[in-house]
Structure 1
Amino acid sequence: MAAQKTVLITGCSDGGIGSALAATFQQRDFHVFATARDLSKMRDLEGLPNVTFLTLDIVKPDDINAAIEAVSKHTGNKTLDCLISNAGRNHFMPILDENLDTVRRLFEVNFIGPIALTQAFAPLLLEAKGMVVYIASTSGHLNIPYMGAYAASKRSIEIVAETLRLEVAPFGIGVLEVVTGAVKSKGQTYFGDFNLPQQSSIEPTIASRAQGTDGLPRMDTMEYAKAVVDDVLQRTIGRVWHGGFADKVKMSTTATAVPQSAMDAGAVMGTGLDAIGE
């Protein structure tokens, strides 16, 4: 009998994408390691079979090491079939009003944290020939006022993911980035007290966008999760687009006559990666 597949998902707080992904993977007979900084915020997943809760702040090495130990102990053979970097920090602020320490913390969570997590779990993923999934954002492909720093952090991890995909392909690991459009989520609830460093006539407008009350239609969270899990089960690699308006952003920003396979072949030429496995 084949061992049960395993997935670790970051950022599984109630009402968000991570929680929906955890529930969907559990329905597909995976053992799910659902993680969050605060275990009390994962009540929606309580009582589900084959779900293990782990405390994980992706910027804390001790938390990452403890998660590796827990996964290794559960599987016995130190493997992980899928690692999903979903935890992140949303952010709204005009560039000229940015606090640079805030921007540094934003990149620590949205960019450095996922890289650290991937490096740490790489041995388990290699053993399983598993998949790494990064939840990216359509904002990284657009120039949206007040979201410049956030968009830069999400686009940056997407570039890293595309490079990683080429680097680990010869070793049997797949890498998928999910460019995410508008999805129903509680991810913007912590902007209730949004304010600018100085008084501005457009502050109410920015606050409304930050709090998700802009009236834009959003994809149902479970519908989004099902699409992502389908991609993982089909072992899709590269970039996929899900969520409200994602297809429109894709059409308007990625038009090219050169197929991805040709781009990849040119990128690895002469790097030594093209010789591995020959």
Structure 2
Amino acid sequence: MGSPNSSRPKNVLITGCSAGGIGSALAFSFQKRGYLVLATARDVSKIDPALTSLPSVTTIKLDVTSDASIAAAVVAAREALVAEKHAGLGFLVNNSGVGTVMPWLDYEMSEARRLFETNFWGVLMVTKAFMPLLIEGQGTLVNIASIAAKTWNPYETIYNASKAAIQQWGDTLRLELEPLGVGVVSVMAGMIQSQWYSNSVPPLKLPEDSYYQPVLKNIQGSVTGVANKESGTPPDVFAETVVKQLVNGKTGKIWAGALSTLIWTLGWFPEWVSDYILRDRSGLGSMKKLKDV
């Protein structure tokens, strides 16, 4: 655990604050601690009215895949900070993200590129644009990564890869930004009971000639986020865990949410242990047996 930066302004800009998601929960958690919250979304009408009605909350339209939208958001954020007499950003939270569930052989490459545009390039573009404000505030960059960066859940190959890329980028950037007084945190989010699956994961359209028709039920379970809904951590509980550590000066990684401790622990075991677990829960073990018959 690091120590709080007393000179860091008490404000935060969070991307992807649609109601019911992680970004919204983080915004509520920061606001109740007296932070000025700049809550952003591609469609600001999707931000929870209960959040926007609170004092010290400003909404800003931001599409993380649009250069023009990002530039306009920087201007709006700076104006909001100046109006409240804040010198720079205290926290920039890159939370926006999309998902897709599909066996790799059935992926449309256009969908793979679309996901990386939001989950990877969008994060880099937003960070680059807001970096002057972060440096000015001696603030902290927070990237919502995922335990998917450290495991290889079948049918989510591109999503896993995007989160692994963000986590690796963030770890490297932590060293590069250290001399500039900017901290970097990768939040290794576990299973969360949020609206993310319904908001961000497109419906499954498995081709009729797919090799993976025998495990269609398993894939559909991944699309709807059944495990997250049944065993995930509530977004507000997750947000409290994360924000408490952030305001106390945490850098490096924060592991939070259901299964995050297990995935961290599995990192110390041989790969075949994870393979065994994932093969079983994805149905690929039984699919292999059918093929062998």
TM-score category, normalised to shorter length? 0.7 to 0.9
Residue 129 of structure 2 is matched in structure 1 by 120
SS in 1 for 2:214: coil
For residues 78 and 26 of structure 1, the distance between their equivalents in structure 2, rounded to whole angstroms, comes to 18
Q: Which has the higher contact order (CA 8 A, sep 6+)?
A: 2
Report whether the alignment pairs 1:79 with 2:88.
yes
Report whether the alignment pairs 1:60 with 2:63.
no
Residue 142 of structure 2 is matched in structure 1 by 133
For residues 248 and 193 of structure 2, the distance between their equivalents in structure 1, rounded to whole angstroms, comes to 25
Q: How does 1:1-278 map to 2 (within 5 A)?
A: 5-43=10-48, 44-76=50-82, 79-190=88-199, 191=201, 193-198=203-208, 200-214=213-227, 216-254=230-268
**AA aligned opposite 1:64:** I
For residues 54 and 223 of structure 2, the distance between their equivalents in structure 1, rounded to whole angstroms, comes to 33
**AA aligned opposite 2:205:** N
For residues 143 and 208 of structure 1, the distance between their equivalents in structure 2, rounded to whole angstroms, comes to 16
Q: How far 1:206 sits from its partner (Å)?
A: 0.6
Q: Matched residue pairs, number?
A: 254
For residues 208 and 198 of structure 2, the distance between their equivalents in structure 1, rounded to whole angstroms, comes to 22
Q: How far 1:254 sits from its partner (Å)?
A: 4.9
With 132-141 and 216-225 compared, the bigger mean Cα shift is at 216-225
**AA aligned opposite 2:155:** Y
Q: How far 1:143 sits from its partner (Å)?
A: 1.6
- Contact 1:71 / 1:80 at 8 angstroms: preserved in 2? no
For residues 148 and 13 of structure 2, the distance between their equivalents in structure 1, rounded to whole angstroms, comes to 25
Residue 254 to residue 113, structure 1, CA distance change in 2 (3 Å): farther
SS in 1 for 2:143: strand
Residue 274 of structure 2 is matched in structure 1 by none
For residues 226 and 250 of structure 2, the distance between their equivalents in structure 1, rounded to whole angstroms, comes to 33
**AA aligned opposite 1:12:** C
Q: How far 1:212 sits from its partner (Å)?
A: 1.2
User: What is the TM-score with the length of structure 2 in the denominator?
Assistant: 0.83
SS in 1 for 2:231: coil
Q: How far 1:36 sits from its partner (Å)?
A: 0.7
For residues 213 and 195 of structure 1, the distance between their equivalents in structure 2, rounded to whole angstroms, comes to 18
For residues 90 and 238 of structure 1, the distance between their equivalents in structure 2, rounded to whole angstroms, comes to 24
Provide Cα deviations, 1:230-260, integer angstroms capped at 9, x if missing partner: 12101111112000010010011157xxxxx
**AA aligned opposite 1:236:** K
For residues 46 and 122 of structure 1, the distance between their equivalents in structure 2, rounded to whole angstroms, comes to 25
Residue 96 to residue 234, structure 1, CA distance change in 2 (3 Å): same
- Contact 1:4 / 1:29 at 8 angstroms: preserved in 2? no
For residues 123 and 83 of structure 1, the distance between their equivalents in structure 2, rounded to whole angstroms, comes to 11
Q: How far 1:176 sits from its partner (Å)?
A: 0.3
Provide Cα deviations, 1:98-151, integer angstroms capped at 9, x if missing partner: 111110111110001111111111111111100000001111111211011100
- Contact 2:64 / 2:122 at 8 angstroms: preserved in 1? yes
- Pairwise CA RMSD: 1.7
With 215-224 and 226-235 compared, the bigger mean Cα shift is at 215-224
Residue 278 of structure 2 is matched in structure 1 by none
SS in 2 for 1:202: helix
For residues 106 and 154 of structure 1, the distance between their equivalents in structure 2, rounded to whole angstroms, comes to 11
Gapped runs of 5+ residues in structure 2?
1-6, 270-293
For residues 124 and 196 of structure 1, the distance between their equivalents in structure 2, rounded to whole angstroms, comes to 44
Higher helix proportion, which one? Answer: 2
- Contact 1:177 / 1:239 at 8 angstroms: preserved in 2? yes
Q: How far 1:198 sits from its partner (Å)?
A: 2.8
Q: How far 1:78 sits from its partner (Å)?
A: 5.6
**AA aligned opposite 1:50:** S
**Sequence identity, in percent?**
37
With 15-24 and 204-213 compared, the bigger mean Cα shift is at 204-213
